[in-house]
Amino acid sequence: AHAEGARGHVLRLLERRVSRAAAVVLATSSDLVDRARSRGARDARLAPVAVPAPRLAPGLPDGKARAELGAVERPLVMAVGSLVAHRGYEVLLDAARAWRDLDPAPLLVIAGEGPGRPALQRRIEDEALPVRLVGRRDDITELLSAADVAVLPSRWEARSLLAQEALRLGVPLVATAVGGVPELVGDAALLVPYGDPGALADAVVGLLGDPGVRRELAEAGRAQAGTWPTEDETVAQVLSVYDELAGT
């Protein structure tokens, strides 16, 4: 979805070939259904993929994650994903620069690894940004549950794992209005345009300053998550397609 140049051209050709050859194309978001149809798919259907509900580690001490990250007496903003260009982290750092003079300055923690790390780390150090890169973690659920706000600044997403976990945990989410994100979150998150650091910073700072709105989004997030298909429903949908194609 994010390839550009010659590689992107080749992948688009392959996508067209596969879409036209397939009896049925299943897509995880409506924009991908439209994309498959534009590539020549004879039958393209929405098939949202379920992600298991997050499970917190039993007996996790209150504030342990915040203490480890250095956010005991300051707001904690959390982003998760590989450190690659389409994740929008350069824009997110621009937003962090806009809130670094607040007292206390919110701490932005980005969990993930990738080729963009050296450039991001240089910016953090050169601009004295209130940002920590914590690399790949196996305790994402615990870190995310400790956050005041989750942020998804991507250029494109289908059914973002971060968005799903944040809403299920009741963590207020600010996300870009791209791909399948609006369809996924409904009214349970604040949506901003991609590539607009001012809008991103305003949304985050506004949420941090309004506990009432955060509580409303937390409740709306859990309710929205309740509308998503379960794992069993996801499996049943795919099996029904196999049965249909097999004529059983």
Same domain, 44 and 92: no
Per residue in 210-221, pLDDT (tens digit) is: 999 999 999 999
Same domain for 202 and 99, yes or no, is: yes
pLDDT of residue 62: 53
* pLDDT at 21 > cutoff 90: yes
215-234 b/e (C-beta count within 10 Å ≥ 16 → b): eebbebbeebbeebeeeeeb
Answer yes or no: do 74 and 93 share one domain.
yes
Indicate whether 210 and 241 sit together in one domain. Answer: no
Q: Do 136 and 79 share a domain, yes or no?
A: yes
Residues 76 and 33 in one domain: no
Give the pLDDT confidence score for residue 46 in this predicted structure: 96
Q: What is the largest CA-CA distance in the chain?
A: 65
In a domain, 53, yes or no: no
pLDDT score, position 152: 98
User: Is residue 59 scored above 50 in pLDDT?
Assistant: no
- Is 133 within the bounds of a domain? yes
Q: Which H or E run contains 103? A: none
Is 2's pLDDT higher than 80? no
Cα gap 46→35, rounded to integer Å: 12
Q: Are 166 and 124 members of one domain?
A: yes
Same domain assignment for residues 221 and 235:
no
Whether residue 69 lies inside any domain: the answer is: yes
pLDDT in tens, 188-218: 999 999 999 999 999 999 999 999 999 999 9
Which domain, by its residues, includes 75?
65-225
Q: What is the pLDDT of residue 3?
A: 77
Give 117-126 pLDDT, tens digit per residue.
999 999 999 9
Mean pLDDT of the region 131-144: 94
Same domain, 155 and 239: no
Domain total of the chain:
2
> Do 132 and 108 touch, CB atoms closer than 8 A?
yes
Task: Give mean pLDDT, residues 58-72.
Answer: 76
Mean pLDDT score, 140-151: 95
Phi, psi (rounded to 5 degrees) for 43: -145, 105
pLDDT at residue number 58? 52
Residues 126 and 138 in one domain: yes
Report the predicted TM-score, pTM, of the whole model to 2 decimal places.
0.92
- The CATH number linked to 202 is 3.40.50.2000
User: pLDDT by residue (tens digit) across 89-111?
Assistant: 999 999 999 999 999 999 999 99
Mean pLDDT (the chain, rounded): 93
SS3 179: coil
CA angle 94, 99, 102 (to 5 degrees): 160
Q: Does residue 56 sit within a domain?
A: no
Reduced DSSP (H G I as helix, E B as strand, rest coil) percent helix, strand, coil of the chain, to 5: 50, 15, 40
Residue 157, pLDDT > 80, answer yes
- Lowest mean pLDDT of 53-57, 80-84, 138-142, 239-243, name the range: 53-57
Q: What does the alpha-carbon distance between residue 14 and residue 224 come to, in Å, rounded to a whole number?
A: 35
